[in-house]
Structures are given as C-alpha cells and as structure tokens.
Amino acid sequence: MTTATHDDWLHRAKTFAPRSTHLIDGADEPGGGSTFLAVSPRDGRVLAEVADAGAAEVDAAVAAARRAFDHGPWPRLAPADRGRVLTRLADLLEEHRQDLALTVTLEMGKPITDAHDIELRAVTNTFRWYGQLADKLTDESPHTAPDALALVTREPAGVVGAVVPWNFPLTLAGWKVAPALAAGCTVVLKPSENSPLSALLLGRLALEAGLPPGVLNVVAGDGPVAGRALGLHPDVDVLAFTGSTAVGRHFLRYAADSNLKRVWLELGGKSPNIVLPDAPDLEKAAATAAWGIFFNQGEMCTAPSRLLVHSSIAEQVTEAVVARARALRVGDPLDPATEMGALVGRDHLDRVLGHVHAAVDDGARLRAGGARTLTETGGVYLEPTVFDQVDPAGRLAREEIFGPVLSVLTFDDLDEAVALANATEYGLAAGLWTSDLSTAHQVSRALKAGTVWVNCYEEGDLTVPFGGMKQSGNGRDKSAHALEKYTELKTTWIQL
C-alpha cells in the first residue's frame, strides 16, 4: 500500500514531466507534428502536448510490428525466454510504481490510493502471470490409426492491434498486451486520447525489460483517426478492443471492409446486483453495492449500476446505500484519503449529468447527489448519486451511464428478479446475494452474464476468464483462455 502523503504526491506532481511522443520500432517518434493536449481532470492543468497519430504514424507502427513478427526474434524465442522478458517487465512496473500511479491519477482522475494499490498491482500481476505461464502451454497429439500421426499446434496469430480505454489504462492494456506477447505476437497499442501518458511510459519500460524493437509499439491518437486506421489496416491480423458497444460495431465494420481480421470485443455493461431477503449480511450487501458503483467514479463497464432489491428489504438496503453515498469522501485524487476522484473530463461529466437530469424528468426519485461539486478546483467532480423508484423500461435502467449513478429497482419474487436482471442488451457481469446454495446456482445459471459474483462483487484473479455475452462483447481476457485470441490452431497430419 502507498505510504506517501498528500504533500508527497503534490510535490511529485509539480515536477511531473511525462514522455509524450509515440514509440515506434523501439524509438521515440514525434510524428508529423500534429499534437493534442493531455488535460488533467483533477484541476484542468495541461499535463503535456502529446504527439497525435494519423494514418502515417499508425502505418509506420504496424510496419514495425510486421517486420518484428515476420523477421525478428520474438516469435522464434523459446517460450521460457519470452516469459523472462515479461517477468522483467513486471519487476520494472513495480520499481516505477509511484511514477505510473501518479501518471494514471493525473491523466484520468483516479484516486492515488486506487491507482497505486489496485491498478498498479493488477497490471504488474498480469505481466508476471503471463510471463510465468508462457512456457507451460502444451500442444496436442490426438490418437489416430497406427499408420498416421496427428499434431495440433498453437502458433502466434501475428500483428495485434490493441485499443484500450481510459478508465483502467494500464490494467486493460496489460490484459491485451501480456497474453499477446506471451503467445509470440507483436503489438501496436493505441491508448485512449484521454489517458495516453501511462501507456507511453509502459512502452518504454517494455524496451528496458528487453523487448526487441518493433514488438510493442505505442501510438497516441483519437479513435476516429488512429483507431480507424488500425482497424482498417490490412497488416493487422487481430484487433482487441475494450470500450463502448457503439465503437465495437465500428471495429467489426473495419474488419469487414479490410482483411477480415479477427476482432475481439469487451464492451459496455449495465450490470444487475440482486439482493434477496436471505442475504447473509444485508449491511455488507449494501456497503458493497455502494462501493461497486462509486469505485473508480463509476467509470467501469462492470459497475453494478442496477441494484435489484426484494421489496420487503428495499427501503432498508436503499437507506444504507444512501448513507454511504452521502458519507463518501470526494476530493483531490492526489490525497490518499480521497475515496472518489474526478471524472475523466468535462464532456463526460456533461453526458453523465444529462442522464441524471433525464432521470428526474422521467420520474425517478433522487435520493442522493445528482450535482457537480468542487467546482472551485477547476476539476471535474460529481456527487455520488442514487435514484430509486426507477422505471425498469426507462433510460436510467437501460443505458450505460459510466458514472457514479445508481438505479434502485424492486422485485417481489425470484422470477421477476431474473427477468429484470436480463432485461438489457448487455451481459457483462452480475451480482447475487443469498444464503441458499441452490438459489445461488440456479440464478447464476439463469443470468445472461459473463461473470456472476455471489455474496461479493468485483472479486477474482488472473486464473479466471473475463468477458461478456450479448452486446457486451465476445472472447475473454485474463486466464489461459486469453491466449486463444492471439493464437491460430494448425493441424499437421503425417502419414507414416
């Protein structure tokens, strides 16, 4: 855990001087001269003038990755050697933990305690885990007739384009980059234009760890230009994306309009969190519901944004959540005591407030929050917000808000709870609170979600896969299953 004080972090922030050029073929690349400003949502301060990738920069990065894959050593290294580089990178991430945490906090507003203790722990563990896994994968030799030998081998898929969002800029980059590199692929990483600085630092640390030039390239730029160029590029073999469902559709179109590259999508969510009267601890259920929706300012695809509570306990649970919302400490993300920091930017704040105002107009009852706060800082802050009496068919209950806004809905029986939970186009995650083992199994099976947490939320480790159903996407991050996205199966049949 971080032991630095508020003053320590403020001092480090004063001397913050991030790298702001692309990393292409192992070298700093300023590009064609176009730039954009990285602005901190903490206080509106300009952090850096960042090189802005156009089609030319993306093409150069893909060409470098293509050469590194077709002719370089990385895909041809023994898996154990690739693993050693990834574990060295994990060591460097730990060594530079404070610099990386500060970068994440300044560029996207996450509380420094969460950046240091949670985000950096997660990305470090990811590279270490895949580094240790790299030489433990096996191919297959199916049983055949005595006169033949069949081999089924997994081979690296080629050049991977990884497009990742701003809410967990390092963790989600790690979930794509680490398994791709472990499999022997080369990568072009495009971070969000809202959080490019941490990814650019990650790229430099990967070089220091021993990754050959061209194996990991990082280009900063926006989605409509750089992201589109990556999605349409004929030399990209696999595209891995985390972000909105709307943008995910664009990447599928880009693949169809180019080389039919494989596209793996982890998209939006409107996750239900069901609390039954027999929950083992109602106070814990309410506390976890509040933590889940307000953690990371609610900017999570898995955020339990729909709290479904049995009508017999609805007011008790809602009051407990409202009390926690009102007590939550919103403040300077550089203060280790802050529990909720800044939203990523003014445009995003306006979108979230638009949902709040629409919910009031639609008849939902505002129980807590609902307004901008700390405006004197120049930053982008919103009060933790809770609504009840929410129409299940209304926008508040159906659309992803991606902010600290909770909808409380009630039900009278289990069938109604499952129907409400599944009444969404998304299927990323869900929560369930019950003491009955049969109920836990039956409801978990009935919920259309890639992950179901029982009597907890946001728990798990790298051994289990993560991904969605329905319009929350396809494929899986984390676990050994993630390697399936970055490998091709080849059958070799030998007649003896």
pLDDT tens across the length of the chain (496 residues)? 888 999 999 999 999 999 999 999 999 999 998 999 999 999 999 999 999 999 999 999 999 999 999 999 999 999 999 999 999 999 999 999 999 999 999 999 999 999 999 999 999 999 999 999 999 999 999 999 999 999 999 999 999 999 999 999 999 999 999 999 999 999 999 999 999 999 999 999 999 999 999 999 999 999 999 999 999 999 999 999 999 999 999 999 999 999 999 999 999 999 999 999 999 999 999 999 999 999 999 999 999 999 999 999 999 999 999 999 999 999 999 999 999 999 999 999 999 999 999 999 999 999 999 999 999 999 999 999 999 999 999 999 999 999 999 999 999 999 999 999 999 999 999 999 999 999 999 999 999 999 999 999 999 999 999 999 999 999 999 999 999 999 999 999 999 9
Q: Residue 266's beta-bridge partner residues?
A: 242, 473
Q: Looking at residue 1, what is its pLDDT?
A: 82
Centroid of chain to Cα 400: 15
Predicted pLDDT of residue 438: 98
Structure tokens, 427: 């299927």
pTM above 0.95, yes or no: yes
Long-range contacts of 69-74 (CB under 8 A, 24+ apart): 69/156, 69/158, 69/159, 69/185, 69/186, 72/186, 72/212, 72/214, 72/215, 73/212, 74/181, 74/184, 74/186, 74/211, 74/212, 74/215
pLDDT at residue 454 in the model: 98
Say what the pLDDT of residue 2 is: 83
For residue 385, what pLDDT is reported? Answer: 98
**160-216: pLDDT as tens digits:** 999 999 999 999 999 999 999 999 999 999 999 999 999 999 999 999 999 999 999
DSSP 116: I
Contact yes or no for 71/186 (Cβ under 8 A) = no
Phi–psi pair at 408, nearest 5 degrees: -105, 125
By residue count, the chain amounts to 496
- pLDDT, tens digit, for every residue of 353-377? 999 999 999 999 999 999 999 999 9
pLDDT of residue 106: 98
Q: What is the pLDDT of residue 420?
A: 98
Active site residue 301: yes
pLDDT of residue 60: 98
The 3 state secondary structure assigned to 236-267 is: CCEEEEECCHHHHHHHHHHHHHCCCCEEEEEC
266 is catalytic: yes
φ and ψ at residue 77, rounded to 5 degrees: -70, 150
Which of these is catalytic: 193, 266, 299, 383?
A: 266
CA distance 112 to 340: 10
Helix ranges restricted to H, 137-244: 169-183, 196-209, 228-232
Annotated catalytic residue, options 185, 299, 301, 458: 301
> SS3 for 143?
coil
- In this structure, the number of other CB atoms found within 10 A of the CB of residue 154 comes to 18
User: Distances in Å between the alpha carbon of 105 and those of 73, 152, 283, 287?
Assistant: 36, 45, 31, 25
Contact 268, 400 (CB under 8 A): yes
Element holding 442 (H helix, E strand): helix 437-446
Question: What is the distance between the alpha carbons of residues 273 and 254, in angstroms, rounded to a whole number?
Answer: 35
Q: How far is CA 458 from the centre of its chain?
A: 13
